[in-house]
Amino acid sequence: MRLSLPRTPFTLSRALTTLGLAVALFSPAALAVGDPAVLINEPTIKAALDAAKRNEPWTLEEQIRINEIPAPPFKEEVRAREMERLFKELGLKDVRIDKEGNVIGVRPGEKPAPNVVISAHLDTVFPEGTDVTVKREGNILRAPGIVDDTRGLAALLNIIRSLDEGKVRTAGTITFVGTVGEEGLGDLRGVKALFRDTLKDQIDFFISIDGTSINRVTSAGVGSYRYRVTFKGTGGHSYGAFGLANPIHALGRAIDGIAEIQVPRQPKTTFNVGRIGGGTSVNSIAFEAWMEVDMRSETMVALEAVKEQFMTSVNSAVEAENKRWGGRGNLSVELELVGLRPAGETSQQSPIIKATNAAVVALGLQPIHSAGSTDSNVPMNLGVPAVTIGGGGSGFGAHALDEYFDSTDSHLGPQMAILLLAALTK
C-alpha cells in the first residue's frame, strides 16, 4: 500500500479506509467522473464509437481466430502469447506476460492515474483435446468458448483499435489485461496475482468483460468456498473386523448434518454436496470416503456462517462415529480447500456503477444488475470499484459444447466499454 504517494482521490480513500479513517472526508466532487451522456457527443469519442462499429467485422474474425487457439484450465499460454502479439501490434505500451501468465498492455494517458484496468479472461472450462473449431452461419458463431470469454478478448482488441482510430486522448491511463484462471479450479488465480503482485495498489477502477448483453451489469460478486473432505480409518473385513469406525458411515452422518443447514434467502446463500466416493467392496469397511462441497453467498458474513455450520457437521460426524465404536478404527478427517472466491459488492452510488448505467442508457438500453462470480469478485472484496460488463452480441450455452454467439448488434459491447473508459479516465 502506497501511503506516502496517493495518486488519486481513490487511492487516497483506499489508504484512509485501510487506516480506519472515514472516506466521507471527500466531497462528491472529488469523486466525479465523466458523464457518458455528454461524452457520446465529443468529436473524438464519437469517432471512436463509429470506429467500433466499423471494426466489428474484423473483431469477429479475430474472435474466431483466438477461439481456435485452445486455452484449457492452467494451459492458457499459447493464447496468452497471441494476445501479447496483438497488444503490441495494436500499439499498446509496456506489453508483457506476468509470472502468473496474465497478459498486460498499457495505453498511457496524460497521467498514470486514475489507472483503469479493463480485462477479459483467457481460459475456458474445456479440457485439452476439445474441438474448438468455429462454425459460422451468418451472425451465428458456434464453438466451445466462443462466448465465455473469447468475446471479451475480441472486444478488448476492438476497443484498443477504435480508441486509436478516434484519436481519443485520456487524462487517466487504461491498462488492458487478459487474465488466466478465471474458471473453476483456476480459482481467479490471474486476477488475484494482479492485485497481489503485478499491479498492486495501482488499480483505481477494474472492469471485466465477461458475458455479452450490454444491459446486464454485474455489480456484486458471489463468493464461494469449495472443500474436498476425506474421512479416513483403518478399514477391514466387514464381518471379521466388525466394530471399527466406518469412514462411509461418517460421511453419511456429515451429509445428514449438511442437508439440515439453514441459510438466509437474502443475501442468497447456498450449499451443495456435489460429489461423493470411497470404499473398495461391499464386504469391506472402507479405509476412505470423500465428498466435494460447494458453498456460495453474496456476502462474506453469510458465507462464513454457512462454512461454520458445514465444519460443525463434519466434526460432529467424526465424533459421533468414533463414539459409536468406542474410538476403534482411528477415524479422522482431512479438509482441503479447493476453491475460494471472495464475495464483494460495488455500491450502486459509486462513480463506476453510475457511469456504467449512464453508458448503457446512452446506447438506448436499461441496465439490469445482478450478482455473479467473475474476476471482479477480487477487487470488489478489496474495496476497489469494479464492474463486470458484457462484450456485445448475445451468448448461449456457456460452459457447454454447443455454446454459440449471435453477433447481432455486437458493436454495442465495445461502444459501451469505450464510453465507460472515457468517463473513468476523464
Binding residues for Zn ion, rule: CB under 5 A, are 148-149, 210
What's the burial of 239, exposed, middle or buried (CB within 10 Å: 0-12/13-18/19+)? exposed
Shortest distance, CB of residue 296 to Zn ion, whole angstroms? 16
Shortest distance, CB of residue 406 to Zn ion, whole angstroms? 17
59 versus 170: smaller Cβ distance to Zn ion: 59
190 versus 247: smaller Cβ distance to Zn ion: 190
Q: Which residues contact 4 (CB under 8 A, 6 or more apart)?
A: none
Shortest distance, CB of residue 27 to Zn ion, whole angstroms? 37
Please say whether the beta carbons of 209 and 261 come within 8 A.
Answer: no
Please say whether the beta carbons of 74 and 181 come within 8 A.
Answer: yes
Instruction: Please state, in angstroms and rounded to a whole number, the distance separating the CA atoms of residues 229 and 242.
Output: 24
Shortest distance, CB of residue 234 to Zn ion, whole angstroms? 45
Element (H, E) at 181: none
Cα→Cα distances 362→1, 42, 356, 420, Å: 36, 13, 10, 11
Q: What does the chain come to in residues? A: 426
98 versus 210: smaller Cβ distance to Zn ion: 210
Using the 8-state DSSP alphabet, how is residue 194 labeled? I
Instruction: Please state, in angstroms and rounded to a whole number, the distance separating the CA atoms of residues 159 and 344.
Output: 27
33 versus 209: smaller Cβ distance to Zn ion: 209
Residue 154: CA atoms inside 13 Å, Cβ hemisphere, count?
32
Shortest distance, CB of residue 404 to Zn ion, whole angstroms? 15
Supply the DSSP string of 141-158, one letter for each residue. Answer: EESTTTTTTHHHHHHHHH
179 versus 246: smaller Cβ distance to Zn ion: 179
Shortest distance, CB of residue 149 to Zn ion, whole angstroms? 4
321 versus 403: smaller Cβ distance to Zn ion: 403
Strand partners, 235: none
What are the two backbone dihedrals, phi and then psi, of residue 319, each rounded to the nearest 5 degrees?
A: -60, -45
Shortest distance, CB of residue 50 to Zn ion, whole angstroms? 29
Cα→Cα distances 57→51, 64, 134, 158, Å: 11, 11, 15, 10
149 versus 204: smaller Cβ distance to Zn ion: 149
Q: At how many degrees (to 10) do helices 351-362 and 412-424 cross?
A: 140
The C-alpha cell that represents 49 in the structure block: 464509437
149 versus 321: smaller Cβ distance to Zn ion: 149
62 versus 149: smaller Cβ distance to Zn ion: 149
Q: Which residues contact 318 (CB under 8 A, 6 or more apart)?
A: 231, 250, 254, 331, 332, 333
Shortest distance, CB of residue 76 to Zn ion, whole angstroms? 13
Instruction: Tell me which residue of 212, 157, 155, 134 sits closest to 408, measured CA to CA.
Output: 212
Shortest distance, CB of residue 294 to Zn ion, whole angstroms? 17
153 versus 199: smaller Cβ distance to Zn ion: 153
Please say whether the beta carbons of 101 and 88 come within 8 A.
Answer: no
Shortest distance, CB of residue 210 to Zn ion, whole angstroms? 4
